[in-house]
Structure 1
Amino acid sequence: MAEWTDKDERQYEHIKDSQLERGKPEDDAKEVAARTVNKQRREDGRTPNQTTQGTGNPNTPLEDRTVDELRNRAAELNIKGRSKMRKSELIEAIRNAS
């Protein structure tokens, strides 16, 4: 798919500057800005993947995360058989492995 547009670059710089003004370290500000722009690009259908490959917000209860996020977390924990598990099974396996 296409690279970032000029508009994406401007949005990135604006978000990064805003984060820096709030006292975030530069690396954190860059990450927040890039994640925000990439999320917008995904939602607009401008990326090959329509869903994130992340594991969800670590402060969010496992029950509130998507099955994809749970599977990604299970992959990080090397849980076998995760692709065939239902959401409740993934949650139980993650809790037992953590």
Structure 2
Amino acid sequence: MPRGSKDKYTDKQKRKAEHIEESYESRGVSTDEAQARAWATVNKQSGGGEKKGGSGQKKSPQAKSASRKSSARRAVATKHGVPRPDQSLESMTKAELLNRARTRHIPGRSTMRKQELINALRHAA
């Protein structure tokens, strides 16, 4: 028999455990073992019973959505090499400099060295 009270579990979790337990019993597993496996499965899938209080973030669905959107925008900007406004040209990689030169349509950029790209970008500004 599994240890602990199941009062903190939702009705859906209890139904799921019961269904899993019946499935194990139909395959010949003992009742106690089937019950233990069922609750272990429910715990693994849903993280246990209802969580009330405790630590962690308490964000509204709107705040979570806004966080995801801004995070996605930052990730895309980073992925595509969009430089940060406060970043100096010297601290940028050659690939980032090439991307910036490409957006400014600097001719001959593909054959330039890093310092040449920096100089060309400064003159184009």
| TM-score, normalised via structure 1 length | 0.52
Counterpart check, 1:34 vs 2:84? no
The code of the aligned residue for 1:77 comes to R
Counterpart check, 1:82 vs 2:109? yes
- In the alignment, the residues of structure 2 paired with residue 85 and residue 15 of structure 1 have an alpha-carbon distance, to the nearest angstrom, of 43
Residue 79 (structure 2) aligns with: 52
**3-state DSSP class of the match of 1:60?**
coil
- In the alignment, the residues of structure 2 paired with residue 15 and residue 66 of structure 1 have an alpha-carbon distance, to the nearest angstrom, of 33
Counterpart check, 1:16 vs 2:43? no
1:53-79: CA deviation from partner (whole Å, max 9, x where unpaired) = 223212100000111111111011100
**3-state DSSP class of the match of 2:79?**
coil
Residue 67 (structure 1) aligns with: 94
Residue 60 (structure 2) aligns with: none
- In the alignment, the residues of structure 2 paired with residue 81 and residue 61 of structure 1 have an alpha-carbon distance, to the nearest angstrom, of 22
Q: How many residues align structurally?
A: 63
Structure 1, gaps ≥5 residues long:
1-12, 18-28, 40-50
Percent sequence identity over aligned pairs: 43
* Offset of residue 37 of structure 1: 5.2
1:2-48: CA deviation from partner (whole Å, max 9, x where unpaired) = xxxxxxxxxxx74834xxxxxxxxxxx72x31045558xxxxxxxxx
Structure 2, gaps ≥5 residues long:
1-62
| TM-score, normalised via structure 2 length | 0.42
* Offset of residue 52 of structure 1: 2.8
